[in-house]
Amino acid sequence: MSTQTTQQQTARQQTTQQQTTQHMKAMFRIEWKLFNRLKVNYLYAVFVPLMVLVALQFAQEQMNLDASGLNPGPVMVSTSVGVLLVFSLYSFITSLYVARREELVLKRLRTGEVSDRVILAGGASMYVVVCAVQLLVVVTGVSVIFGIAPRQPLAALAGILTGLALMTAMAAATAALCRTMESVAVATLPAMFVLPMISGVYIPREILPDALGDALLFAPMSSTVDLVRTGWTGDLTLLDALARVLLAGAWTALFAWIAVRKFRWEPRV
């Protein structure tokens, strides 16, 4: 009897997993079609981050990174990753959630068999994949330009994965606090400019006063920046890298908790 019950439970779990996969694929295809309808999305997703990177490269050249013991190549790699995560992932997903809420898409999806987590993950999945491809292309290009190669690729991969999860969770939390699409532009400003500034994306923490740099280590994106950079420099030990992963996980869990507690599935009155 217990064997039969176990088999039934396993069959139900497999059915649920198959349905979840099908729902995720369906939502991915829908978002991809909607993304392609507006060609301006490509302009924002490609050229805006590139322009920011060019400006940051010029700014970092004026910082005299060599005097601080920093290699410009790995710094540009971590900067590239940070910029793309913010501009190509966070901003897009925040707008996506708020727009779909105003269009009552999220409310309609909840009336079906799709769970809340699948709705949010499925909607964001297309942008996560697009951002991951952008990261691969840009990181490879920067590495070739500066003539550098990864020393700890697993650390770099951990940094990218934690960054993708962090930005997705933070986008959901931000969308939970936005009433309308008009409020998205204001709500995302701190994350697009202040957060990268204090996390070492725009300005490496090593060139700041020691006390300030140590304090900013606990900023949300600092762990991602450190992990990605050490992928090319090999500066962090295994324990330090694990500590960065745990810190990034804590921030991700916090933003996910805010999203779960505050997220609204229909327009606010």
Is the dihedral angle over the CA atoms 103, 38, 136, 243 positive or is it negative?
negative
Residue 203's pLDDT is 84
Give the model's pLDDT for residue 3.
63
Question: Could you give the angle at which helices 153-177 and 91-102 cross, rounded to 10 degrees?
Answer: 30
Residue 114: what pLDDT?
73
pLDDT tens figures, 63-95: 666 666 678 888 888 988 998 999 889 998 999
Q: Which residue has the tokens 């810190």?
A: 247
Q: What is the model's pLDDT at position 82?
A: 92
Task: Tell me the HSE value of 141 on the side-chain side, using a 13 A CA sphere.
Answer: 10
pLDDT of the residue at 1: 47
Residues in the chain with pLDDT values less than 50: 1
| Reported pTM | 0.86
How many Å apart are CA 122 and CA 59, to the nearest integer? 38
The tens digit of pLDDT for each residue in 170-182 reads 999 999 888 888 8
Distances in whole angstroms, Cα of residue 29 to Cα of each of 16, 46, 70, 89, 156: 20, 21, 43, 17, 29
